[in-house]
Structure 1
């Protein structure tokens, strides 16, 4: 074999960091050793994997082509090592999740995974749907858990479980006396919503088809808890996942409002890069998520 796993590690770290010094630090090796490993990999095959743009090393067409193959090979090598150590079945994972899933579902799943495989590490990154999808495309995370609908030719989108958005207000709001909200009520309300690009906002906008341009959106916030606090302060009404509101409804700090003429249903999804090697760790994570479907 004309290349080593270490050379592939340097290649992948450089692809992620776009800098050989940062790649070396990531791998706990000297800059000269990392530069030598990458140079030897390229010279052995008479190829170039990066374009040098100023101080950055950016993947060229060939680099983009071989990156998923190198990722898969290293993951398979790691699984083989775990098998030799009689620890197969788990493995380190980097999971991306949108805010509702990350704050209310993923942490519990992560705890179960780490209890099952105490020697393995799970890193959780929380962002909106667009950002999580981009991280999957860039191979920055192993698997994404998203709330919004998403399509891309390089990504597999796999349904996970059903969810529903709920409209809500504070106990002091005038709408608490209404059995259901009418179209007029929706147009008169001051709304506190998630930001564009989030899965929650995508579902809300779809549900409000026909009146969306005329809604009074007072605040757009990136965090569900901030929206809940603003609504509790009676600054307006909100719309979030039922998963994020169950405790507040039980306490009585927020009140559910009925909007029967609007469809707020949606699904949670797994997203994976089509060229990403499906490791045993990813497979087990998906199994644990499916066991938690009753909490959605």
Structure 2
């Protein structure tokens, strides 16, 4: 074999950081050792994996093509080392979750997972669907739990569970007493919505597609709690997952507005890179989510 796992580690760390000094720090190596390892890897095969732009390393087309295989190989090597040390041990798991899932499902899942697997370390990153998918594609996350629909040749997207959005308003809002909302009322209302790129906004736009050009979108916010607070204060009406609204509706802080003419159903999904090694931790996490 004409390459080492250490060389692959340097290659991947450089791809993540785009800087050999930061890559060396990440791997607890000297800058010169990391630089030599990368140069040796390229020299051995007469290839170039990065374009050098000053101190910045920008991964090139060949580097991007080889990166998934290198990631998968290192994942398997780490899993083998873990199995040799302690066969039933589950190590670190990096999970990405979109806002609704992260706030209302993922924390309970993490607690259950750690209770079942005390040796596990679960790190949760919460962002919108677009951001989570990019981090899964770049192998910065082991897998994602997302609300938005995705299509990417390198992503394996699997349905997880059903969800439904709910239009809502303040109890003092003029629409609060309405039995149902007409399309005319949906157009005339002022809306407070999630930002483009989020799964919630994607589902809302799909349900309202022919009305969107006429709708008055007053605010676009990145956090569900901020949207609920703005709606409670009478700034407009909103549309969020029923999962995130249950407590506010039960307590009377907001009122659910029926929209029978609009299909607000959607799904939550698992996303994994197709070349990501399915470690014991990933397998057990998926089992827990499916059975929850």
TM-score per shorter chain, which class?
Answer: over 0.9
- Size of the alignment, in residue pairs? 292
TM-superposed deviation, 1:218: 1.0
The equivalent of 2:270 in structure 1 is: 270
The equivalent of 1:55 in structure 2 is: 55
TM-superposed deviation, 1:282: 1.5
The equivalent of 2:28 in structure 1 is: 28
CA contact (8 A) 2:104 2:243 kept: yes
Unpaired runs of 5+ residues, structure 2, are: none
The equivalent of 1:112 in structure 2 is: 112
Alignment of 1:240-259 (within 5 A): 240-259=240-259
Q: Deviations over 1:194-244 (max 9, x none)?
A: 111111111111111321111111111111110000001111110000111
Give, in whole Å, the separation in 1 of the partners of 2:276 and 2:202: 27
CA contact (8 A) 2:130 2:198 kept: yes
Cα-Cα RMSD: 1.5
Give, in whole Å, the separation in 2 of the partners of 1:5 and 1:104: 39
TM-superposed deviation, 1:89: 5.6
**Are residues 1:38 and 2:62 paired?**
no
The equivalent of 2:69 in structure 1 is: 69
TM-superposed deviation, 1:109: 1.5
CA contact (8 A) 1:171 1:254 kept: yes
Q: Deviations over 1:56-107 (max 9, x none)?
A: 1122222112211111111111211221222436231221111111111112
Q: Deviations over 1:93-132 (max 9, x none)?
A: 2211111111111122222223333333222221111111
Unpaired runs of 5+ residues, structure 1, are: none
CA contact (8 A) 1:89 1:284 kept: no
Alignment of 1:191-210 (within 5 A): 191-210=191-210
Alignment of 1:119-130 (within 5 A): 119-130=119-130
Give, in whole Å, the separation in 2 of the partners of 1:77 and 1:4: 11
The equivalent of 1:98 in structure 2 is: 98
Deviates more, 1:195-204 or 1:48-57: 48-57
Give, in whole Å, the separation in 2 of the partners of 1:117 and 1:54: 45
CA contact (8 A) 1:158 1:270 kept: yes
Q: Deviations over 1:113-166 (max 9, x none)?
A: 233333332222211111111222222211111111111122111111000000
What TM-score results when the alignment is normalised by the length of structure 1?
0.94
Secondary structure, counterpart of 1:75 in structure 2: helix
What TM-score results when the alignment is normalised by the length of structure 2?
0.95
Give, in whole Å, the separation in 2 of the partners of 1:154 and 1:32: 34
Deviates more, 1:19-28 or 1:116-125: 116-125
TM-superposed deviation, 1:169: 0.8
Give, in whole Å, the separation in 1 of the partners of 2:140 and 2:258: 40
The equivalent of 1:82 in structure 2 is: 82
Moved over 6 A (4+): none
CA contact (8 A) 2:89 2:120 kept: no
Give, in whole Å, the separation in 2 of the partners of 1:8 and 1:121: 24
Deviates more, 1:183-192 or 1:38-47: 38-47
**Are residues 1:289 and 2:262 paired?**
no
Deviates more, 1:61-70 or 1:8-17: 61-70
CA contact (8 A) 2:167 2:256 kept: yes
Secondary structure, counterpart of 1:184 in structure 2: helix
Q: 1:33 to 1:116 in 2, by over 3 A?
A: farther
Secondary structure, counterpart of 2:185 in structure 1: helix
